[in-house]
Structure 1
Amino acid sequence: MTVITMEKQKTILDETLKAYQAGRRVKAPLAGFPGCDLTGYSIKVAQQNPAAHFECIRAIYDRFNPDVSFMMMDLSAEANALGIPVRFPKNESATVEEHPIAGAEDIEPLRKIDITADSRISGYLKAVELISKKLDNMCCAYMAGPITLAGLLSGAEKVAMDAVLEPDKFRALAEFSAGVLESYASALCDAGADAICILEPTGVIFGPNEFEAYSAKYVERINNLCRDKGVETIYHICGNSMHLIEKMTNSGVSALSLDSPDTGVDLHLAAEKAGEDVVIIGDLNPVSVMKESNAQEVYQAATELLDKMKDVPNFILSTGCDLPPGTPPENIEAFMKAESDYSG
């Protein structure tokens, strides 16, 4: 197994190339919720109790031996910390219920909020601390991207329209969101994260120029902040992000985490666009392949992906997005075994 411990003098790229030169691939499924299946904790408990959260991630670590341990994905946390109403189902990830921020006047009361003092955010920081200290592999935290947080505050359709029709209005919201996220990124670094994966699913509906103006330029700021603390960044977008690869790469992040081919992503072409200095992470479909197929089909799909990317040294075998609850453990084992067996 290629264990990434992410000593501060090493980089994600260094470790990815080291594995490739040794005839291996880094294996890093985006796995958090399957830990709830292994431990019996509900998602609600795991997302609100850092000790339970850690036990879920440790169960994944113990059962599957991934090279990277990801915290649980939760796109509601930052918005919730700003007072936005959030729904907490028992066995689904928390979701934002309302998008009440309409304009600059609604932002002002939020500026005094320190989200790192929020109880849920504090719980995630504690979970990252536990993962970092107690598991012997790379610890990767999640946070929202600036466009996505803006969309959670104001509504995705509204921000897409404002970006075109009222750019000054949206720029103010994106700037505010970026400032909130810089604070959270700094806290995640201090908690012990080796890398931070910036989740920007709402960005996929933007054109390259708007994406650069309202996401990539702010992610560059977050990236620089993290690098000053010895922590690397990963850009993750759900959906077909092929039109954004160059803009994502130019933000300075160490890696791009991309969605499955079913969305239109061509991982090999994305690697060509990104260049050899940016790690490409992906991209088995988390639902149709990892959850709904059988173990033999997962093994075959992972092997085919390894074949497709065999001439790309800067590639990490992963899933296109977070694995959903109910993903069969034997399918995750088949994913891991496909890489171990691969000799192409």
Structure 2
Amino acid sequence: MEFCARRWKEEMMAGKPKGLLILSFPVAKKMGISVRELLGSSENQARGMLEIIRCFPKQCAIVSRMDLSVEAQAFGASVRFEENDVPVVETPVVRSVEDANRLQVPDWKTSRCAIDVEAVRQVAASGPDRPVFAGVIGPYSLAGRLMDVMEIMIQCMMDPDLVHRVLRKATDFLKEYIRAYKEAGAQGVVMAEPLAGLISPDMVRDFSTAYIREIVDELQDDSFVIIYHNCGAGVLASIQEIAATGCFAYHFGNAVAMEQVLEAMDPDTLVFGNLDPVALFQNGTPKQVEEAVDALIKRCGTFPNWVVSSGCDIPARASWENIERFYESLPE
């Protein structure tokens, strides 16, 4: 599709609240395959994305998988796969300055990233009637998986140069990976930066925002956008630093009050969020989903820049009936 970011934003801000769920994994059960089979095949991923918009015409965009292990695995991190769960990074690859110096920026074409780029290429080539957004990890969150989540927070204080060294390589890789999605026909990426929700505003500025801004300045334009995602509890404290990334839109998790986020954000910027993906979609009932959607719309529906969404990706074991009720609960 021919995509104009400005026009799409105007459409999102006009009329009734629109809906966007991050349905990376529940579609596998709907397709009769495992999560592992979904992630291991470009064809399965593409078929899953198209199945979602076939089932849910109110879904305002096509979003590819949110698998936060794929980029770390490209750098050599060990990843544990299970049949029906999200892959998990098991072993960091940077434990010292020497490891950071030896760390090579990988070629995305030689890793599992190539499967995901090809899936987006197939969906974009099918001529969808809404934008296609690929899923990628953010630079600080990638560095955290390369170093270990607790270790990177310690080293941000003890040895910031080490962290910046890893971030430089993570960012260089992400720029080429995101560029590949752009060339494959995607209209943007959803960049997951959840680890930045665990650090102070000053650290967010130095170790996350500065690198995301570099990516935004190089790749974002009116035909390709970057949507920032952070499901951490520290979002409100760092909201100015997060907004300084210059991303086209922002997606926040249910650890914060959506209306407080909206009050703090520029009213001309799209903001997505933030129904609980586990408590509602996996463990809740259709009635609870409907009540939660209604309550969130009552609190946030007066903000024209708000799009009702899940606070993060919905687990593979979520009830399809709960997902259906979400869309049924949106105003006509």
Same fold at TM > 0.5: yes
Within the candidate set 70, 79, 82, 2:75 is matched to 82
1:242 maps to 236
8 A Cα contact 1:64 1:332, kept in partner: no
Residue 258 (structure 1) aligned to one of 252, 276, 283: 252
Residue 22 (structure 2) aligns with: 30
Per the alignment, residue 132 of structure 1 pairs with 124
Q: How big is the shift at 1:229?
A: 7.6
Q: Match of 1:283, SS?
A: strand
Deviations 1:18-39 (A, max 9, x none): xx3xx32221111121110110
In the alignment, structure 1 segments of 5+ residues that lack a partner are: none
Give the secondary structure class of the aligned counterpart of 2:136.
Answer: strand
- The aligned amino acid for 2:12 is T
Distance 1:119 1:233 in 2: 23
Percent identical pairs in the alignment equals 25
Match of 2:183 among 152, 173, 190: 190
Q: CA deviation at 1:281?
A: 0.3
Q: Cα RMSD over matched residues?
A: 1.6
- Does residue 320 (structure 1) correspond to residue 311 (structure 2)? The answer is yes
TM score, norm. by length of structure 2: 0.94
Q: Give, in whole Å, the separation in 2 of the partners of 1:309 and 1:150.
A: 34
Identify unmatched segments of 5+ residues in structure 2. none
Deviations 1:253-308 (A, max 9, x none): 11111111xx2x11111112111122110010001112221112211110111111
Paired position in structure 2 for 1:274: 265
Report the alpha carbon displacement of residue 220 of structure 1 after superposing the two structures with TM. Answer: 0.9
Tell me the equivalent position of 2:275: 284
SS at match of 2:4: coil
**Structure 1 position 216, deviation (Å):** 0.7
1:63-102 residue pairs with structure 2 within 5 A? 63-65=55-57, 66-102=59-95
1:142 aligns with 2:135: yes
Q: CA deviation at 1:133?
A: 2.4
109, 114, 133: which one aligns with 1:122: 114
One-letter amino acid of the counterpart of residue 86, structure 1: V
Letter in 2 for 1:235: Y
| Counterpart among 51, 57, 76 of residue 59 in structure 1 | 51
* TM-aligned CA deviation for residue 236 of structure 1: 0.7
What is the distance in 2 between the residues matched to 1:12 and 1:320? 21
- Residue 145 of structure 2 corresponds to residue 152 of structure 1: yes
- SS of the residue corresponding to residue 239 of structure 1 reads coil
Post-superposition offset of 1:12: 4.5
Q: Which residue of 2 aligns with 1:200?
A: 193
Alpha-carbon distance between aligned partners in 2 of 1:52 and 1:37, rounded to the nearest angstrom = 12
TM-score, length basis structure 1: 0.91
2:40 pairs with 1:44: no
Q: Which amino acid aligns with 2:171?
A: A
Equivalent in the alignment of 1:212: 205
Secondary structure of residue in 1 paired with 2:112: helix
Match of 1:222 among 212, 215, 221: 215
Residue 228 of structure 1: how far off its partner (Å): 4.2
Q: Is the 8 A contact 1:249 1:278 kept in 2?
A: no
Equivalent-residue separation in structure 2 for 1:102 and 1:266 (angstroms): 37
Q: 1:169-227 deviations in whole A, cap 9, x for unaligned?
A: 21111122111111111111111111211111111111001111111111111112222
Q: Is the 8 A contact 1:12 1:279 kept in 2?
A: no
* Bigger RCO (CA 8 Å, 6+ sep): 2
